[in-house]
Amino acid sequence: MLIETLSTFPHMYDSVVNESILKRAQAAGAFEFRAHDLRDWTHDRHRTTDDDPYGGGQGLLMKCGPIFEAYDDIAAEGPKPFTIFLTPTGVPFDQGVAAQLAMQERLLFICGHYEGIDERAYTLSDMNISLGDYVLTSGELASMVVIDAVVRLLDGVLGDEASAVDESFYDGLLEYPQYTRPAEFRGMRVPDVLLSGDHGKVDAWRRRQSLERTARLRPDLLERANITDDERAFLLSLQSDFSEGV
């Protein structure tokens, strides 16, 4: 996969893509990364990418001209990129969206800054994504989160192929609690089932814990979760416990 970004601050990506899993994934050939500087497509000596909004208002808007010129040149260098804008008007980002993006051959993130982007630039978009109902300094920061989530799903990136399956949100549920040595610490003991060596019982315990944790902390996720009829009955039995404060 080829992942590219177009922004006014391309060096913001340096530390993120050159550390940890993203660094190893590039070394293994799972994906290639390119950060394009939008200023390379400006035509004045100040390399201006923003201007005052028509109709007045506070802040500056990113101009659509440099974005269109950059897109034309970048897209001409290979297969058409699946183009993404990070914006509050986008679809909420979740694991399902990450999986959809992981199936693409080429991704291009166009990142806003300042007060926003000229609306006409969004005609280039294949998908608009929102990370949540809060404000960030720039689209670069949001794109880093999306890129990390997508790369983790690429073949061969995680050493243990089961790792991606076990993580939170893979099947719509929060991940179960996990423990490591020592077996007891300051009076807190690891559940006996995890020390039993019975993998069947461990798997069943973990599944129940995921269901219960999701029901307690993120019940909104259960509407889309991949759960069986027996598990739905188990969740119904928990509702009375929750209402009684158990």
Flag whether 8 is in a domain: yes
pLDDT of 246 reads 47
Judgement on whether residues 65 and 97 belong to the same structural domain of the protein: yes
Q: How far apart are CA 236 and CA 27, in angstroms?
A: 47
Flag whether 53 is in a domain: yes
Flag whether 67 is in a domain: yes
Flag whether 44 is in a domain: yes
pLDDT of 162 reads 46
Flag whether 163 is in a domain: no
Give the residues of the chain that fall short of pLDDT 70: 160-170, 240-246
Judgement on whether residues 138 and 172 belong to the same structural domain of the protein: no
pLDDT of 242 reads 64
Helix (H), strand (E) at residue 12? none
pLDDT of 79 reads 95
Mean predicted lDDT score pLDDT of the chain: 92
Q: How far apart are CA 226 and CA 222, in angstroms?
A: 8
Q: What's the total number of domains in the chain?
A: 2
Flag whether 197 is in a domain: yes
Cβ distance 144 to 109 under 8 Å? no
User: What are residue 103's phi and psi, to 5 degrees?
Assistant: -90, -5
Judgement on whether residues 142 and 191 belong to the same structural domain of the protein: no
Query: pLDDT for 113-165, tens place per residue?
Result: 877 899 999 999 999 999 999 989 899 999 999 999 999 999 999 976 545 55
114 lies in which domain range? Answer: 2-151
Judgement on whether residues 122 and 228 belong to the same structural domain of the protein: no
Q: What is the pTM of this model?
A: 0.86
CATH number, domain of 56, equals: 3.40.1280.10
pLDDT of 163 reads 56
Token readout for 54 is: 């028509």
Judgement on whether residues 42 and 126 belong to the same structural domain of the protein: yes
Judgement on whether residues 112 and 19 belong to the same structural domain of the protein: yes
pLDDT of 96 reads 92
Judgement on whether residues 133 and 192 belong to the same structural domain of the protein: no
CATH number, domain of 212, equals: 1.10.1270.20
Residues tagged in the binding site annotation: 112, 131-136
Flag whether 161 is in a domain: no
Judgement on whether residues 187 and 145 belong to the same structural domain of the protein: no
Token readout for 91 is: 């679809």
Last residue of a domain, one of 87, 122, 151: 151
Residues tagged in the binding site annotation for S-adenosyl-L-methionine: 112, 131-136
Q: How far apart are CA 119 and CA 126, in angstroms?
A: 14
Token look-up 């993404």 returns 84
Flag whether 117 is in a domain: yes
